[in-house]
């Protein structure tokens, strides 16, 4: 808010209060109150509201120290009562496993590669990630398969 806007609002408040008192003959407290209201309207009109609510959002760095957030969200995707895995963790594990299989030249969407995929990751492992009713054991089996497919680091 600029100094000019404040001075303008004070002038509007005084003029409005005086005009109401002199021109319409209202009581002084009412004229003052309506004058203050006019000044507040002038001040409120100077407030700029961003069209995008993210404009004034804080910038939160996402780095290795914030990686636990994604892991905790996936942990909440597992239902301990039923043993079922939610869509969030199923989608994430499918993406990792598909990426690892692509490194071996296999496409999960190609039916011709299905036999080789089952040989590498285990029978019905991919099918358990696609179908409803994926359990925590299915997720563990898929993550173990992804670890086996991970590229080995060269020893120095």
Cα(52)–Cα(55) distance, rounded to whole angstroms?
A: 6
Give mean pLDDT, residues 39-63: 74
pLDDT band for position 154 (cuts 50, 70, 90): very low
pLDDT at position 41 is 93
Q: Residue 150 in contact with residue 103, Cβ under 8 Å? A: no
For the chain, the structural domain boundaries read: 3-44, 71-149
Q: Give 66's pLDDT tier (boundaries 50, 70, 90).
A: low
For residues 35 and 17, is the Cβ–Cβ distance under 8 A? Answer: yes
pLDDT tens digit string along 94-133?
Answer: 999 999 999 989 999 999 999 999 999 998 899 999 888 8
- What value does the CA radius of gyration of the chain take, rounded to a whole number of Å? 33
Please give the average per-residue pLDDT across 23-38, as a whole number: 93
Q: How far apart are the C-alpha atoms of 119 and 135, rounded to whole Å? A: 21
pLDDT band at 88; cut points 50, 70, 90: confident
The predicted structure's pLDDT at residue 155: 39
Residue 46 pLDDT > 50:
yes
Q: Say what the pTM is.
A: 0.52
Q: Does the pLDDT at position 67 exceed 60?
A: no
pLDDT > 90: percent of the chain: 42
Q: Whole-angstrom Cα distance, residue 141 to residue 125?
A: 7
Nearest CA to 145 among 113, 77, 98? 98
Query: DSSP string of the chain?
Result: --HHHHHHHHHHHHHHHHHHHHHS---HHHHHHHHHHHHHHHHHTT----SSTTTTS-----SGGGTHHHHHHHHHTB-TTT-BBPHHHHHHHHHHHHHHHHHTT--TT-GGGHHHHHHHH-TTHHHHHHSS--BHHHHHHHHHHHHHHSPPPPP-
Scan for tokens 């100094």, then name that residue: 3
Q: Assess contact for 91 and 116: CB atoms under 8 A.
A: no
Arithmetic mean of pLDDT over the chain: 84
């Amino acid at each position: 808010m600029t100094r000019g806007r404040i001075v303008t609002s004070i002038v509007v408040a005084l003029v409005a209060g005086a005009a109401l008192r002199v021109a319409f003959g209202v009581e002084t407290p009412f004229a003052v109150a309506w004058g203050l209201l006019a000044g507040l309207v002038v001040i409120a009109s100077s407030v700029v509201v961003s069209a995008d609510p993210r404009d004034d959002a804080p910038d939160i760095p996402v780095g290795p120290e914030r990686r636990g957030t994604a892991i905790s969200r996936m942990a909440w995707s597992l239902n301990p009562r039923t043993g079922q895995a939610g869509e969030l963790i199923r989608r994430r594990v499918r993406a990792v496993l598909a990426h690892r299989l692509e490194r071996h030249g296999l496409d999960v969407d190609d039916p011709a590669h299905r036999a080789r995929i089952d040989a590498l990751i285990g029978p019905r492992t991919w099918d358990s990630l696609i179908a409803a009713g994926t359990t925590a054991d299915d997720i563990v089996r898929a993550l173990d398969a992804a670890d086996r497919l991970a590229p080995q680091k060269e020893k120095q």
